[in-house]
Amino acid sequence: MIKSNESSQIGYITAINGSLIIVKGIEKQVKLHDLIIVSKQNILGEIIQIYNSYAVAQCYESTNNLKLNQEVISLQEPLSMELAPGLLKSVFDGIQRPLNLFDKKLNSAFLQRGIEIPSLSRTNKWHFIPHKNDGEEVEPGDIIGSIQETPLIEHRILVPINYSGVLSFIVEEGDYTIEEEIYRLKKSGKEYSLTMLQKWPITSSRPYKERITSEEPLITGIRIIDLLFPIVKGGTVAVPGGFGTGKTVIQQSLAKWCDADIIIFVGCGERGNEIADVLKEFSNIIDPKSGRPLIERIVIIANTSNMPVSAREASIFSGVTIAEYYRDMGYDVAVLADSTSRWAESLREISGLLEEMPAEEGYPAYLPSKLSSFYERAGKVEILGNNDPKRKNLGSLTIIGSVSPPAGDFSEPVTATTKRFVQAFWALDASLAYSKHYPAINWLSSYSNYLEYVAQWWYERDIHWPEVDIDWYQCRAEINVILSRENELKNIVQLIGEENLPDDQQFVIFIGKLIRESFLIQNAFDNIDNFTNINKLLGHTKLILLLYHQGQELLTQGYLLEDIKSLEVLNDIRRISHTIPNDQFDKIEKLKNKLLKDIQSIKLMYSGRKKL
Amino acid sequence: MSVIYRNIQEIVGPLIFLTNEHDVQYGEIVKIESEDGKTRSGQVVKMNEEVIVIEVFETTQGLSSENSKIFFTEDTFKVRISENDMFGRTFNSLGRPFNIYTKKILSTDIISDLELEIYGAPINPYSRDYPSEVIQTGISVIDGLFTLIRGQKLPIFSAQGLPHNKLAAQIVTQARVLTEESFLIIFCGIGIIEDEAINFLKAFRESGNIQNIISFINFASDPIMERLIIPRVALTTAEYFAFEKEMHVLVVLIDMTNYAEALRELSSAKEEIPSRKGYPGYLYSDLASIYERTGKLKGKKGSITQIPILTMPNDDISHPIPDTTGYITEGQLVLNRDLNNKGIYPPFEVLASISRLMKDAIGKNTTREDHADLSSQLLASYSDALEARDLLSVVGEDGLNYDQKALLDFGDDFEKKFLNQGTSENRNFNDTFSIAWEVLSNLSRNQLFRIHQEFIENYYIP
């Protein structure tokens, strides 16, 4: 945030209640959501209600030691994000205060109030390469030049929204700070001087040309997601789960392995140690494609549970605003928000202080509209600006929000409301987590509305095994059928015991178990198992289905179930996930041949042992 | 203490209301002197041009609108801390040394100029160091399956009638770090009954470890406001010793249910809108402001580890108190009534328990190379064993195959030998691992699918 000190409006405090203050003297001038600076202690706040004779503001920091009648200065602008090179690798709080710089400047691990540090460094020089020449005409979204922000990501400097005209000046290639003039635009006789730094208010979404239906999946490397419950780039998904069901591990796996270009990780009202974990892990993990640490594509927003709640409320919108900025450069961006329930609770807390009439469970009645204004900012879009060979003219923003329902009860207001605004739902299940089945995504209660959208994409990337000549979409359907049949049959087993089922049904249970244990269970901390690429995924799936088809055939021909169950190749299939690396697809094909050979040998060797 | 008020407008529960005639600070501490000579303290929690609302930390009984003098201290709530004369002593909610048998404040107050604000500033998440060193509690199930890490907050979910007090005392007396660094335990009793408090102190004294323990005790009969203060007093002390004096501090808070109930009582006195079960909507943030005062900092040697212990009302793990706690802490240890009835101590429901930070902290250089595999195998096999037990009751022993029968034996042994342990039995990591391999010997090698082959070769007892 930058203070604009011109023509400040000054009021004074007339009441304090927790993080809320009542201000008189500026109620006629301020606009809703304008920022204020409270007292000489420099506490930042935001106007949230305006009445005839006073205004109500929430403070982003503790109000301790404030007194009545202390001055309140209106900054006459809403909470905005600073957008410029330097965002990546940074750690911000919910209102974009740079936590990494705080640590250095204060020389203390504890956060103090009223400290003013610009969100992005003003002294750091960036190597700017111009893409345009004097005299060219530009419009919003055009690339003026670029900066290698990190070795992984090129930062494209765009003409800000609301600016256009003829370039009357542009600097030469060289090193500049974000506040130095790098170009001037002339329009209708006026000349505007522009820098790399732009600002954008967090509550309004950045404009684009038009919205596009996304048909490309966001590959996550998590098998159950990529096969059964895929999402698209630009999609929305909610991940609800009680405590201990592994929400955070899933969020972190996604941040590490999903194939978005940029990750915005919003730690919203969660644990401080988790942020420390993310920082440590992401600095150590190397991106397989580029050989660079993953942290170089990440912006972290950390407003942990013990930090002020008003800033927590802002945090998810701050995150999505930064995401839109990178989307507008033509990138695929994913926002991981952990957890939206804590965000909703911050709404409830503030609403409670305001003594508003509550709707369900104390949440304010505007919870749904606030939630939708977050999730609706996701999408794949055609971005502003003229076509530029240096980028796609498409960008996408995917939102993955975890939800922490009290007592794991999915009927509570935040989960139920979120379901209305997302297209995919990965339901985490406590009983799976208790039996150490991770990721604990329940395959019966989860869903994805993106199946048809991504089917074509997968069809084009099929591995074409003549023995299992079906594509991703059909594979998925078959696996699904086996799992739900297994579930039905298990209820019967509870009553009569597994031995009393006919062989073909026992075989379904057997394959169901194989799918669960070798395919759905995935170890996020194993070096091979943590990420499964699409070829390995398809190979693994088809291998299981091949076994299923061949086994069924054998059973109908009268061969014994025990012989199929004791096939030696099964042990190898069970271990595919953590023994065969992604780049050794030929090993999976070898397993396929071994399976076919083993089945052939059952037919030859044991043909005498057929059931009569 | 410049300003003195004489007129209280209203007294409602722990709240008093004054006409606003003075320039007070928000959060300021006030002293209230009543005619009977008692001095109470309180804090400004709400103010506007007409009224100041004060929360009184001690009881408001005996106050009337006429008989009291109110002083504004122009200061916030602080606790006195001394580097030298706190060890082995017992303090009340406000940080004054006292005798728990007579409940009298001792005349020998600690001598120190150091006074610290009890509502500590939040730790910058960027400045945290990710916890990765172990604490040995000497209890197999914790050390083996849910290892406690320095800088972790790992609560114990108990219920009335379960032996959480014994367990707390055992942890406090046995816990140690494996290095030679100095280790301090802060015991904080919140709303505990007098018998319990006396038993705790007795256990600490008998352990011979009392010089490493600082106790803060708030009795069930003390005013509720003190329950809201005491964990913060204890944690402020902990922060001082951890981050100024570079010690490893383990804070045991018992019982957080009493804390949450005090918070609810205050909230209802303030006429706030309740959320679940009458608890205020900010229960999560408030508990977080306690639990998050845990961890390690970059560039500092010390650490704060928390074991909050709470009793689940009606054994209900989905009750707001355990539920919110579980969302904030890094794992949980759950006690189980059935196991307790079977005579197993400590009666841990291992499948509902988890320690989130152990994965990076255990292994070859800290505990033992086979630790991670062992704990994963024990949990997986115990889960299978429980399934086999269910099956046994349906189909009978004849319906079980060889593997399932082996699982049944394993399950019994696991409960009797691994879980079960004496209340003063102190097992080190190696003892725990030996017992683990012993109970795993019930299973055949190919049932140990979560253990690397090399460890099976080394440790498996056929």
Q: Is residue B366 part of a domain?
A: no
State the sign of the Cα–Cα–Cα–Cα dihedral B421, B427, B433, B438.
Answer: negative
> What are the residue ranges spanned by the domains of chain A?
9-78, 122-201, 210-446, 472-609
Q: What is the pLDDT of residues A520-545, one digit of tens each?
A: 999 888 888 989 999 999 999 999 99
Structure tokens at B367: 């505990």
List strand residue ranges (DSSP E) for A483-572, in order: none
Alpha carbon distance A552, B362 (integer Å): 45
| Amino acid at position B287, single letter | L
Alpha carbon distance A560, A555 (integer Å): 7
Query: Quick one: how far is CA A308 from the chain centroid?
Result: 23
Candidate from B47, B125, B354 with C-beta closest to A244: B354
Please check whether residues B130 and B72 belong to one and the same domain.
Answer: no
Residue at token pair 């090399």: B454
The pLDDT-based confidence of A607 (bands split at 50, 70, 90) is low
Reduced to 3 states (helix: H, G, I; strand: E, B; else coil), residue A12 is strand
Residue B381, CA distances (Å) to A401, B227, B344, B352, B440 in order? 34, 42, 19, 14, 9
Alpha carbon distance B73, A506 (integer Å): 77
Q: Is residue B365 part of a domain?
A: no
Contact predicate B418/B377, CB 8 Å: no
Contact predicate B148/B335, CB 8 Å: no
Contact predicate A524/A249, CB 8 Å: yes
Q: Average model confidence (pLDDT) for chain B?
A: 90
Alpha carbon distance A391, A108 (integer Å): 42
Please check whether residues B140 and B95 belong to one and the same domain.
Answer: yes
Candidate from B47, B275, B351 with C-beta closest to A15: B47
Tell me, which fold does domain A210-446 have in CATH? Answer: Rossmann fold (3.40.50)
Reduced to 3 states (helix: H, G, I; strand: E, B; else coil), residue A115 is coil
Contact predicate B86/B116, CB 8 Å: no
Please check whether residues B150 and B227 belong to one and the same domain.
Answer: yes
Indicate the length of chain B as a whole number.
462
Domain A472-609: assigned CATH number: 1.10.1140.10
Tell me, which fold does domain A122-201 have in CATH? Answer: OB fold (Dihydrolipoamide Acetyltransferase, E2P) (2.40.50)
- How confident is the model at residue B65, as a pLDDT? 78
Judging contacts by C-beta atoms under 8 Å, the chain B residues touching residue A348 are: 275, 281
Structure tokens at A477: 């359907």
Concatenating the DSSP letter of every residue in A215-279 gives -SB---S-HIIIIIS--BTT-EEEEE--TTS-HHHHHHHHHHHS--SEEEEEEES--HHHHHHHH
Contact predicate A578/A529, CB 8 Å: yes
* CATH number assigned to the domain comprising residue B33: 2.40.10.170
Please check whether residues B122 and B184 belong to one and the same domain.
Answer: yes
Q: Do B126 and A279 touch (CB under 8 A)?
A: yes
Structure tokens at B178: 């494996």
The pLDDT-based confidence of A7 (bands split at 50, 70, 90) is low
Q: Looking at B23, B55, B76, which one is the last position of a domain? A: B76
Q: Residue A337: in which H helix or E strand, if any? A: strand A332-338
Q: Do A16 and B48 touch (CB under 8 A)?
A: yes
Residue B223, CA distances (Å) to A244, A400, B40, B57, B219 in order? 35, 45, 11, 7, 9
Total-model pTM: 0.91
Does the pLDDT of residue B347 top 60, yes or no? yes
Closest of B249, B357, B235 to residue B304, by C-alpha: B249
Q: Average model confidence (pLDDT) for chain A?
A: 91
Q: Determine the straight-line distance between the first and last CA of chain B, rounded to whole angstroms.
A: 76
The pLDDT-based confidence of B431 (bands split at 50, 70, 90) is very high
Please check whether residues B92 and B238 belong to one and the same domain.
Answer: yes
Alpha carbon distance B121, B117 (integer Å): 9
Alpha carbon distance B189, B184 (integer Å): 16
**Average of pLDDT values for B55-77?**
83
Residue with the bigger pLDDT between B14 and A592: it is A592
Structure tokens at B259: 């804390």
Residue B198: CB atoms within 10 Å:
13
What is the phi/psi pair of residue B105, to 5°?
-70, 135
Contact predicate A272/B129, CB 8 Å: no
Q: What is the pLDDT of residues A459-476, one digit of tens each?
A: 999 999 999 999 999 999
Please state whether B329 falls in left (phi above 0), alpha (psi between -120 and 50) or beta: beta
Mutation choice for A interface testing from B49, B116, B126 by most A CBs within 10 A = B126
Does the pLDDT of residue A605 top 80, yes or no? no
Does the pLDDT of residue A107 top 90, yes or no? no
Contact predicate A29/A75, CB 8 Å: no
Question: What is the number of alpha carbons within 13 Å of residue B56 lying toward its C-beta?
Answer: 29
Residue B386's domain spans which residues?
371-459
The pLDDT-based confidence of B70 (bands split at 50, 70, 90) is confident
Alpha carbon distance A563, A544 (integer Å): 17
- How confident is the model at residue B320, as a pLDDT? 92
Structural domains of chain B, count: 3
What is the phi/psi pair of residue A390, to 5°?
-80, -5
Please check whether residues B99 and B215 belong to one and the same domain.
Answer: yes
Q: What is the pLDDT of residues B102-144, one digit of tens each?
A: 888 888 778 888 999 898 889 999 999 999 999 999 999 999 9
Alpha carbon distance B223, B151 (integer Å): 31
Mutation choice for B interface testing from A305, A353, A409, A436 by most B CBs within 10 A = A305
- How confident is the model at residue A325, as a pLDDT? 97
Q: Do B284 and A499 touch (CB under 8 A)?
A: no
Contact predicate A163/A142, CB 8 Å: no
Structure tokens at B336: 């189980």
Distance from CA of A516 to the nearest CA of B (A): 14
Please check whether residues B139 and B152 belong to one and the same domain.
Answer: yes
Does the pLDDT of residue A8 top 70, yes or no? no
Reduced to 3 states (helix: H, G, I; strand: E, B; else coil), residue B450 is coil
Alpha carbon distance B427, A122 (integer Å): 57
Closest of B144, B115, B157 to residue B378, by C-alpha: B144
Alpha carbon distance A317, A399 (integer Å): 12
- How confident is the model at residue B407, as a pLDDT? 95
Yes or no: is domain A9-78 CATH 2.40.30.20? yes
Judging contacts by C-beta atoms under 8 Å, the chain A residues touching residue B276 are: 361-362, 406
Reduced to 3 states (helix: H, G, I; strand: E, B; else coil), residue A358 is strand
Alpha carbon distance A520, A226 (integer Å): 11
Question: Which of A:230-269 have CB within 8 Å of B?
Answer: 242-244, 267, 269
Instruction: Tell me what percent of the residues of chain B surpass a pLDDT of 70.
Output: 99
Closest of B418, B364, B410 to residue B145, by C-alpha: B418
Residue with the bigger pLDDT between A244 and A184: it is A184
- How confident is the model at residue B33, as a pLDDT? 86
Q: Residue A483: in which H helix or E strand, if any? A: helix A472-496
Q: What is the pLDDT of residues A73-99, one digit of tens each?
A: 999 999 999 999 999 999 999 999 999
Question: Among A95-104, A428-437, A577-586, which is the least confidently predicted range?
Answer: A428-437
Q: What is the pLDDT of residues A17-41, one digit of tens each?
A: 888 999 999 998 899 889 999 999 8
Q: Do B25 and A67 touch (CB under 8 A)?
A: yes
Question: Which of A:84-113 have CB within 8 Å of B?
Answer: 91, 99-100, 102-103, 108-112
- How confident is the model at residue B6, as a pLDDT? 77
Q: Looking at B311, B333, B360, which one is the last position of a domain? A: B360
The β-bridge relationship of strands A165-170 and A183-187 is antiparallel
Residue A231, CA distances (Å) to A36, A257, A328, A398, A454 in order? 40, 14, 21, 9, 8
Alpha carbon distance A367, A417 (integer Å): 8
- How confident is the model at residue A563, as a pLDDT? 87
Does the pLDDT of residue A4 top 70, yes or no? no
Please check whether residues B115 and B234 belong to one and the same domain.
Answer: yes
Please check whether residues B413 and B341 belong to one and the same domain.
Answer: no
Q: Do B26 and A63 touch (CB under 8 A)?
A: yes
Structure tokens at A224: 């159950």
Q: Do A68 and B23 touch (CB under 8 A)?
A: yes
Please check whether residues B251 and B235 belong to one and the same domain.
Answer: yes
Does the pLDDT of residue A574 top 70, yes or no? yes
Q: Do B394 and A406 touch (CB under 8 A)?
A: no
Closest of A455, A468, A443, A442 to residue A540, by C-alpha: A468
Q: Determine the straight-line distance between the first and last CA of chain A, rounded to whole angstroms.
A: 82
The β-bridge relationship of strands B303-311 and B248-254 is parallel
Q: Do A273 and B120 touch (CB under 8 A)?
A: no
- How confident is the model at residue A145, as a pLDDT? 95
What is the phi/psi pair of residue A10, to 5°?
-120, 130
Please check whether residues B347 and B429 belong to one and the same domain.
Answer: no
Q: What is the pLDDT of residues A372-429, one digit of tens each?
A: 999 999 999 999 998 878 777 999 999 999 999 988 889 999 999 999 999 999 999 9
Q: What is the pLDDT of residues B183-240, one digit of tens each?
A: 999 999 999 999 999 999 998 888 888 899 999 999 999 888 889 999 999 999 999 9
**Average of pLDDT values for A365-373?**
95
Please check whether residues B32 and B122 belong to one and the same domain.
Answer: no
Alpha carbon distance B363, B359 (integer Å): 9
Alpha carbon distance A449, A454 (integer Å): 10
* Residue A211 DSSP code: E
- How confident is the model at residue A609, as a pLDDT? 56
